[in-house]
């Protein structure tokens, strides 16, 4: 085996690339999920005046 090879078919650079794609897909999923969050309500039950 050559330098950086984990097996005969997989090396460290390939694992790093796959880890990046998994991280990037997870980041896209997380940002998409956070985008759908409602956030702060614009109406309040306590008073009619809202201070933002």
Give the global pTM: 0.60
User: Which of the pair, 51 or 37, is modelled with greater confidence?
Assistant: 37
Residue 10: pLDDT above 80? Answer: yes
Helix (H) or strand (E) holding 3: none
Where do the domains of the chain lie? 1-37
Chain centre to alpha carbon of residue 2: 34
Rounded to whole angstroms, how far apart are CA atoms 20 and 31?
16
Query: Mean pLDDT across the chain, nearest whole number?
Result: 80
Rounded to whole angstroms, how far apart are CA atoms 52 and 4?
55
Rounded to whole angstroms, how far apart are CA atoms 29 and 22?
11
């Amino acid at each position: 085996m050559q330098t950086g090879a984990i097996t005969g078919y997989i090396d460290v650079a390939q694992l790093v690339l796959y880890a990046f794609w998994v991280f990037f897909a997870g980041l896209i999923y997380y940002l998409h999920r956070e985008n759908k969050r409602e956030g702060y309500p614009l109406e309040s039950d306590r008073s009619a005046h809202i201070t933002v």
